[in-house]
């Protein structure tokens, strides 16, 4: 059992306030919940959004029925809450009408659960996001030397809990293929009336080959034979379903800086590789730079989320192709980072960057030698 960063939920539980736990499917939300419930002294009731009776009850907004349901309990727990219609209003009734009640709800599809709970639960919720296992979580199990020894595995197979605990390479591949074929589109197809997964999968394949590069929506639309607006909608759905994350360009409105394009990264390297069925070892690959950049981007996102490092992330590039992989803007400061799998010569920040942002923090190069300081 890998200890999760949020393995103790008690500090996040408040009376008459809902704890909402988001995250991709299969990252361990239900396991986290079950482990917590084994240790809590609260009298609780656990139900699932899969249950038709629960869908009817909490979707009904019937005060009397909902209050009867909670009678005698200190904690109400709803797993897969996104499957319940109008769940936000149902939870609002729970936290507003039942004195001292605590509520936990988990959801895998942020686009549905977030839209439903956002407005009804304004000021009434605490939100946690659970990701595939982070390097900072693995530091509880391994030392830095051991993590570096396993780095190739993380770059190729990612860090979903089932993948990390699988016993063989074949089992890892089987789990990842099942995730791609059975889980990552499940919420989108069920809740957004998308006709089929083929275009979504084709779109992901195009994104997988462009990790670390700027993405043109017009080019994607042309390759997929669909219109640009549909591409934009599908990208938005893939973001909200925790499949990809978008990185926008950093600019202070200088004419030489690119501002209108975006880059897309996968929430997990294993999912990215499963989409293109590419699990070769690093010595047989020509995309190691993309794997390294995706890995660092996502692991850094996990660290910032878990450690409450607030700010914004961007990439920076000029029309003359001068670029920096990651710019973080936080605490009123600008932090530039460049990702290099191997360094053959000294890497310096672009002169255009230094001239435009002389007050930025020192330019830092992240390599396999120092990446754990950056991530964990």
**Domain co-membership, 162 together with 113:** no
Domain final residue, candidates 306, 326, 346: 306
Domain membership of residue 104 (yes or no) is yes
**Domain co-membership, 62 together with 199:** no
CATH number at residue 236: 1.10.10
Give the model confidence (pLDDT) of 293-340 as tens digits: 999 999 999 999 999 999 999 999 999 999 999 999 999 999 999 999
Give which of 344, 343, 339, 335 is closest to 363, Cα–Cα.
335
Averaged confidence pLDDT in the chain: 92
**Domain co-membership, 123 together with 165:** no
**Domain co-membership, 33 together with 105:** yes
- The confidence score (pLDDT) of residue 186 equals 78
- The confidence score (pLDDT) of residue 184 equals 83
Domain membership of residue 350 (yes or no) is no
Q: What 3-state class would DSSP assign to 17?
A: strand
**Domain co-membership, 98 together with 219:** no
**Domain co-membership, 245 together with 299:** yes
- Assign 3-class secondary structure to 255-297: CCECCCCEEEEECCHHHHHHHCCCCCCHHHCCCHHHHHHHHHH
Residues in the chain, overall count: 376
Number of domains present in the structure of the chain: 2
Domain membership of residue 28 (yes or no) is yes
The sheet carrying 244-249 orders its strands as 214-215, 262-266, 244-249, 312-317, 323-330, 333-339, 364-366
**Domain co-membership, 153 together with 283:** yes
Q: What is the mean pLDDT of residues 281-302?
A: 97
Q: How far apart are CA 5 and CA 105, in angstroms?
A: 18
- The confidence score (pLDDT) of residue 174 equals 97
**Domain co-membership, 86 together with 229:** no
Give residue 168's domain range.
135-306
Structure tokens at 109: 């599809």
- 61 exposed, middle or buried (CB, 10 Å; 0-12, 13-18, 19+)? middle
Domain membership of residue 348 (yes or no) is no
pLDDT band at 193 (very low <50, low <70, confident <90, very high): low
- The confidence score (pLDDT) of residue 113 equals 59
pTM, entire model: 0.93
**Domain co-membership, 27 together with 114:** yes
pLDDT exceeds 80 at position 81: yes
Give the model confidence (pLDDT) of 129-175 as tens digits: 999 999 999 999 999 999 999 999 999 999 999 999 999 999 999 99
Q: Which residue has the higher pLDDT, 215 or 241?
A: 215
**Domain co-membership, 122 together with 166:** no
Longest Cα separation, the chain: 71
pLDDT exceeds 80 at position 260: no
Q: How far apart are CA 91 and CA 18, in angstroms?
A: 7
**Domain co-membership, 37 together with 57:** yes
């Amino acid at each position: 059992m890998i200890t999760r960063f949020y393995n103790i939920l008690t500090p996040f539980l408040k009376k008459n306030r809902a704890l909402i736990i988001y995250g991709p499917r299969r990252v361990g939300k239900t396991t986290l919940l079950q482990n917590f419930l084994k240790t809590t002294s609260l009298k609780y009731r656990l139900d699932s959004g899969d249950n038709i009776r629960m869908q009817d009850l909490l979707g009904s907004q019937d005060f009397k029925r909902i209050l009867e349901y909670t009678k005698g309990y200190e904690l109400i727990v709803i797993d897969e809450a996104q499957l319940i219609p109008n769940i936000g209003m149902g939870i609002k009734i729970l936290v507003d009408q039942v004195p001292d009640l605590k509520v936990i709800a988990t959801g895998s599809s942020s686009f549905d659960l977030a839209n439903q709970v956002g407005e009804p639960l304004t000021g009434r919720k605490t939100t946690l996001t659970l990701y595939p296992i982070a390097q900072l979580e693995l530091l509880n199990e391994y030392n830095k030397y051991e993590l570096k020894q396993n780095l190739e595995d993380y770059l190729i197979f990612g860090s979903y809990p089932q993948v990390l605990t699988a016993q063989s390479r074949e089992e890892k591949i089987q789990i990842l293929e099942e995730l791609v074929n059975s889980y990552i589109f499940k919420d989108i197809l069920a809740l957004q009336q998308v006709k089929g997964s083929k275009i979504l999968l084709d779109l992901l394949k195009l994104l997988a080959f462009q990790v670390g590069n700027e993405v043109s929506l017009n080019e994607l639309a042309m390759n997929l034979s669909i219109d640009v607006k549909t591409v934009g909608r599908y990208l938005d759905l893939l973001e909200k379903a925790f499949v990809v994350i978008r990185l926008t360009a950093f600019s202070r409105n200088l004419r030489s800086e690119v501002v209108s394009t975006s880059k897309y990264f996968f929430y997990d390297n294993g999912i990215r590789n499963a989409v293109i069925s590419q699990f070769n070892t690093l010595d047989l690959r020509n995309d190691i730079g993309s794997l390294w950049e995706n890995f660092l981007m996502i692991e850094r996102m996990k660290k910032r989320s878990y450690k409450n490092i607030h700010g914004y992330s961007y990439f920076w590039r000029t029309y003359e192709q001068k670029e920096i992989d990651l710019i973080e803007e936080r605490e009123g400061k600008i932090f530039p980072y460049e990702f290099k799998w191997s360094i053959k010569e000294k890497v310096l920040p672009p002169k255009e960057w230094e001239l435009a942002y002389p007050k930025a923090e020192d330019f830092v190069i992240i390599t396999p030698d120092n990446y754990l300081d950056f991530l964990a």
